[in-house]
């Protein structure tokens, strides 16, 4: 098992746009394996490559027995707009409420370089939008309607 360091705010790598993945090689497979180890060690349900310091368009999810690797993902958002309260491994102790859509279709490459397309609703749709934002350098505190500490104390957006 190989756990990677999770990059936290205010590290500027989190604000950068990730590059398209072009090589589906052994090092990419190792990165994905290490990202799953890292996500599970931190009790996460999603993790994007920039969060481990790698500016590649790649994220993973693991929620209710659905494990997903999305490489060079394109999201199509549909359905109702919903308010979602989210945490982020890169922003410890903060919960931010953001606007999301409740349905997503993702088209992406898998770890072997094969294209797939899948639709999700509910929590998986939220996770996909959160992780995809990381690939464009967008964090939940930037788009929050409101934020609070996970001990319940509300905070002013300007503090985050």
Provide, rounded to whole angstroms, the least separation between the CB of residue 130 and Zn ion.
Answer: 6
Task: For Zn ion, give the closer residue by CB, 27 or 43.
Answer: 43
What φ, ψ does residue 28 adopt, rounded to 5°? -70, -40
Provide, rounded to whole angstroms, the least separation between the CB of residue 112 and Zn ion.
Answer: 26
The Cα-based distances of 158 to 42, 139, 144, 145, 148 in angstroms read: 27, 14, 11, 12, 12
Q: Is 4 in the site for Zn ion (CB under 5 A)?
A: no
Catalytic residue of the set 64, 76, 83, 131: 131
Provide, rounded to whole angstroms, the least separation between the CB of residue 62 and Zn ion.
Answer: 14
Q: How many CA atoms are closer than 13 Å to the CA of 18, on its beta-carbon side?
A: 27
Helix, strand, or coil here: 90? coil
Task: For Zn ion, give the closer residue by CB, 5 or 27.
Answer: 5
List CB contacts of 23: < 8 A, sequence separation 6 or more.
Answer: none
**Contacts of Zn ion in 64-103 (CB under 5 A):** 88
| Closest residue by beta carbon to Zn ion | 88
Least Cα distance to 131 among 111, 115, 158, 108 occurs for: 108
Give me the residues paired with residue 86 across strands.
96
Provide, rounded to whole angstroms, the least separation between the CB of residue 113 and Zn ion.
Answer: 25
Instruction: Give the binding-site size for Zn ion (rule: CB under 5 A).
Output: 1
Active-site residue, 131 included: yes
Instruction: Give the pair of three-digit tokens for residue 148.
Output: 């609070």
List residues with catalytic annotation: 131
Sites of contact with Zn ion (CB under 5 A):
88
């Amino acid at each position: 098992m190989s756990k990677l360091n999770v990059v936290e705010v205010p590290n500027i790598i989190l604000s950068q746009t990730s590059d398209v993945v072009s090589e589906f090689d052994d090092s990419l497979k190792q990165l994905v394996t290490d990202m799953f180890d890292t996500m599970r060690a931190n009790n996460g349900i999603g993790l994007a490559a920039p969060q481990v310091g790698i500016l590649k368009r790649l994220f993973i999810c693991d929620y209710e027995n659905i494990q997903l690797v999305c490489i060079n993902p394109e999201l199509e958002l549909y359905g109702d707009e919903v308010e979602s309260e989210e945490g982020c491994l890169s922003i410890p102790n903060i919960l931010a409420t953001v606007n999301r859509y409740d349905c997503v279709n993702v088209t992406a490459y898998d770890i072997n370089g094969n294209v797939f397309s899948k639709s999700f609703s509910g929590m998986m749709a939220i996770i996909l939008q959160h992780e995809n934002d990381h690939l464009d350098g967008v964090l939940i505190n930037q788009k929050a309607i409101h934020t609070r500490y996970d001990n319940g104390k509300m905070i002013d957006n300007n503090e985050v």
